[in-house]
Structure 1
Amino acid sequence: MDLTVVAYVIYLLISLGLTVWVARTLSRNGRVFLADVLHGNEKLADAVNHLLVVGFYLVNLGFIALYLQDDTTIADARGVFEALSRKLGVVLLVLGVMHLGNVYALNKFRRRGMMALDRTPPVQPQGYAGPQGSWAPPAAGH
């Protein structure tokens, strides 16, 4: 068997395995984070989590497939290792960037949700401060 084909098979096996592992890790741990971001709405958290995982798979598997082709001819075992290290290194960097992008986006959603909660006053105002700063007591009987 041609060593280039051997390198392709090893590259695909390792890349696919890494993609599945990272996606499962993101899905499992991201669900808890999404539930917090979405204020305990478990059903919506599961739906968003699933959509994020599908998008993660599509982008990464597409990249792995496009990056498979290599114009160099591999002549020996050293060439196999060099080609694999180059290809897998790039795949790992792309997986890392995708992971950081997901975490950044989720954190941004979480901050936006927390800011919305902070805008709500803890208690209703008890009186009215006039334009000159004078205080008017609440109406009688309230």
Structure 2
Amino acid sequence: MNYFIITYAFYLAVSIAVTIWVAKVLFNNGRVFLVDIFYGNTELADSVNKLLVVGFYLVNIGYMVLALKETGNIGNTQVVVEVLSYKIGRIILILGGMHFINLGIFFKMRNRANRAKVLMERYKPFDE
């Protein structure tokens, strides 16, 4: 039995499934922040949201492919599980890190947009 192929197949299946799930959650829930940041411009918010998801996929799938190779000996089912837990654990940590980076960026952008909105309200011309 070729344990390398089993390990690779499970690793890719689980990693891609988790990446797709996280991307969908970020896409659906990030839209609210982006619409607020872009002052209700839903077309711009949706475009930026799609671009963020594409970047998210590229970074994560790129890392998955780079981390695919296993140089150690995989001689039994126990080693398959150990290698998978290590590789999938790294992917999950990276996804979590990217999630928090995205949140940080969204909050900074939102705070900047709110400050700009307050300044615009404060210094808007008087209506006659």
Give CA-to-partner distance per residue, 1:58-113, whole Å, 9 cap, x none: 00000000000010111111101100000000000111111111111111100000
Q: Which runs of 4+ in 1 moved over 4 A?
A: 122-125
Task: Verify: 1:2 aligned to 2:25, yes or no.
Answer: no
CA 1:123/1:13 → structure 2, altered by over 3 Å: closer, same or farther?
Answer: closer
Task: Give me the whole-angstrom Cα distance separating, in 2, the residues matched to 1:72 and 1:49.
Answer: 40
Of structures 1 and 2, the one with the larger relative CO (CA 8 A, separation 6+) is: 2
Greater Cα shift, 81-90 or 32-41 = 32-41
CA distance in 2, matches of 1:107, 1:57: 21
- What amino acid is the match of 2:122? P
TM-score normalised by L of structure 2: 0.93
CA–CA distance in structure 1, aligned partners of residues 124 and 56 of structure 2: 43
**1:29 maps to amino acid:** N
Counterpart check, 1:121 vs 2:122:
yes
Q: Residues of 2 paired with 1:101 and 1:46: CA distance?
A: 19
**Larger Rg over CA atoms:** 1
How far off its partner does 1:118 sit? 1.8
Distance 1:8 1:69 in 2: 8
- C-alpha change, 1:45 and 1:121, in structure 2 (3 Å) is same
Greater helix content: 2
- Aligned Cα RMSD in Å? 1.6
Secondary structure of the 2:12 match is helix
Name the % identity.
Answer: 43
> Any unmatched runs of 5+ in structure 2?
none
**TM-score, normalization: structure 1?**
0.84
CA positional deviation for 1:122: 7.5
How far 1:124 moved relative to its partner? 6.3
